[in-house]
Amino acid sequence: MQIPIESLNLLMLNVGYAQHNGDWNWKNVSSPFARIYYVTKGQAWLHMPTGVVELKPRHLYIVPAYAMHSYECDGEFEHYYLHLYEGFKKETDVFDFYDFPTEVIAESMDEEIFENMCKLHPDAELPASDPTSYDNRSSFTDYVRRYNDLPLYEKMQLRGSILMLFSRFMRFARPRVWTKDERLAKVLKFIHNNIYDDIDVENLASVACVTKPYLIRLFTKNFGISPLQYINQKKMEKAQLLLITGDLPIKELAYELGFNDHSYFIRLFKKINGVTPQEYRVTMR
């Protein structure tokens, strides 16, 4: 699937330069935003679900949103960082449809791009390297508000810089192959393209040109969960981001995600995340 560049709505949360000496060791980090790193000095390790990646100078690294990961550093280590998220839109999210390499070799201008971003946006630097110091709702709200208040020309400059860095990974990205079954591929594409709507499994069966019971059996056999469970899982990811970056009342947020019954949305959120939407919002303050 070819995603038009205008739908790449990548927005900056933070950018800065970090210097460490054996103190970049954070475990089990997962956030609703993506991270890009450019290493300038030293060595560290990034523990991803797919394995351990050594972080080396003059290389770029990307950590997708919601990916559980850990950091390990036992000596001198310096790097630029960029935190970004996909702005709210009812279009395809690029991370849903492409698999990106964790590591790519940086181009000669990339360090200059980072340096310029830091120079133009010193207030976007993180207060500390500990994720708990910035991965919370109050910080998110401040970061989003700061970006929204930027003049148009600065947003354009940022967009150009972000797309330049992101293009390094896009060059080697591969369309995500969820399954070799074309019927299920169509179903997954439909779910991701309509995640903000009320998706009925009966409609998914029509998309796959099979009966509803057969689709449920086929989907569960291939992915280990039912179509409805998969839909709800993806909706709850969107809910987390909406809860910590905006102030929509829970009822309106539920409607935004295609739930006609906000009480059901609350019960579902608690079942998947262990807390209610309001409790999640409060703990992330």
Q: Domains in the chain, please, with CATH?
A: 5-175 (2.60.120.10), 182-283 (1.10.10.60)
Mean pLDDT, residues 251-262 taken together: 92
- Whether the CB-CB separation of 191 and 230 falls below 8 Å is answered with yes
Q: Is the pLDDT of residue 222 over 60?
A: yes
Q: What percent of the chain lies above the pLDDT cut of 90? A: 59
Is residue 84 pLDDT above 60, yes or no? yes
Phi, psi of 42 (to 5 degrees): 85, -160
Please determine, for residue 30, whether its predicted confidence score (pLDDT) is greater than 90. Answer: no
Average pLDDT, the chain: 88
Whether this prediction's pTM lies above 0.85 is answered by no
Which of 78-92, 101-115, 175-189 comes out lowest in average pLDDT? 78-92
Q: Which amino acid, residue 259?
A: F
Identify the band that residue 138 occupies on the pLDDT scale cut at 50, 70 and 90.
low
Q: What is the pLDDT of residue 139?
A: 64
How would residue 76 be classed by pLDDT, with cut points 50, 70 and 90? very high
Residue 245 has pLDDT above 80, yes or no: no
The mean-pLDDT minimum among 136-150, 194-208, 242-256 falls in 136-150
Q: What is the 3-state secondary structure (H, E, C) of the chain?
A: CCCCHHHCCEEEEEEEEEEEECCCCCCCECCCCEEEEEEEEECEEEEECCEEEEECCCEEEEECCCCCEEEECCCEEEEEEEEEEECCCCCCCHHHHEECCCEEECCCCHHHHHHHHHHHCHHHCCCCCCHHHCCCHHHHHHHHHHHHCCCHHHHHHHHHHHHHHHHHHHCCCEECCCCCCHHHHHHHHHHHHCCCCCCCHHHHHHHHCCCHHHHHHHHHHHHCCCHHHHHHHHHHHHHHHHHHHCCCCHHHHHHHCCCCCHHHHHHHHHHHHCCCHHHHHHHCC
Q: Is the pLDDT of residue 260 over 80?
A: yes
pLDDT at 7 over 60: no
- Among candidate residues 203, 199, 197, the one with its CA nearest the CA of residue 258: 197
178-190 residue pLDDT tens? 678 889 989 988 9
Q: Is the pLDDT of residue 143 over 90?
A: no
The whole-number pLDDT of residue 246 equals: 73
pLDDT band at 148 (very low <50, low <70, confident <90, very high): confident
pLDDT confidence of residue 87: 65
